Structure formats: C-alpha cells, structure tokens
Amino acid sequence: MESRRSFLSKVAMWMSLAASYGTAVAYALRALTPKRKLAAERSIYVGRLADMQDGGSRTVEDLRGTRVLLVREGEHVRALSTICPHLGCRVRWEGDKDRFFCPCHDGVFNREGGVVSGPPPRALDKYDVEVAAGAVYLRMKEPA
Ligand code: FES
C-alpha cells in the first residue's frame, strides 16, 4: 500500500514539474519573439486632378520629407519615388522625352518607372494613388 502511495505521489510531482517547465518555456519564447506590428496605411491629399497638367509632373513631400513624383496620365496619376535605386540621387520627370532621368550616372527610366538604360539595378519604387471626386490621394505605408 505504501509503495502505491509513494508511486502516485512521484507521478504527481513529475507531472507538476513538467507543467511548470512547460509554462516557463512558453513565457521565455514569448519574451524572445519580437511582436509584429501591422504597417498602417495613410492617405495624403496631394491636390486636385484639374490642377495637374495632363502629361505634366509635380513633386510632393509628405510630413516625413519623403519626395514623390506624380505624373498625370489622363484621369489617372502615377506616383513614383524620386530616389534613384542606383546610389540614391534625385530622379526627375522629363515629359518632352517621356522618361524619368537620373543625372548622376545617366540612369533612364520609362514612364512606368522601369529601367531603360544606365546602371540602376531595378525600377523606381511605386506608390498607390487614388483619385476620388477630383481629388488626388497618395497612399503610403507607415514604417512598421
Ligand atoms: S544614382 Fe542614379 S544612375 Fe547612379
């Protein structure tokens, strides 16, 4: 009888010990794992479509100083980063040549921001644009 009681007491002790260690491991993993934040998106009013010349460009700047090139194409507006993906020089729109141009190393991009010639390794970064009731909004993601 005594040995059965002793056996059950040891089993209960080992089970509670295992539960304690399991809980400790779960808390340790939770503490070591970084919390994920969802990137918030914001819309910035950048002007009226009627005030933008068709085929023309405008540079806007958000509150953090990020510069974005807007190019109107009929009822749509294209928004691309002004930062060249080669070494970070400022890109400009050349409407008469229908291209974006980086003067630092003669990088040339087409109207969609794709690389045409020069050293840039990839296309210009794009932003989503929404035109609603004649107003143009630039949609940007907040850094996570
Ligand atoms: S920085 Fe633009 S082409 Fe080199």
pLDDT in tens, 45-91: 999 999 999 888 888 887 677 889 998 989 999 999 999 999 999 99
Exposure on the CB side of residue 139, measured as CA atoms within 13 A: 10
pLDDT (tens digit per residue) in 22-43: 888 888 888 877 777 666 888 8
Distance 70 CA to ligand 1 centre (A): 20
State which ligand 1 atom lies nearest to the alpha carbon of 102: 2
CB of 136 sitting under 6 A from ligand 1: no
Residue 59 makes CB contacts below 8 A (sequence gap 6+) with: 67, 68, 69, 70, 82
* Residues constituting the chain: 144
d(CA 60, CA 116): 24
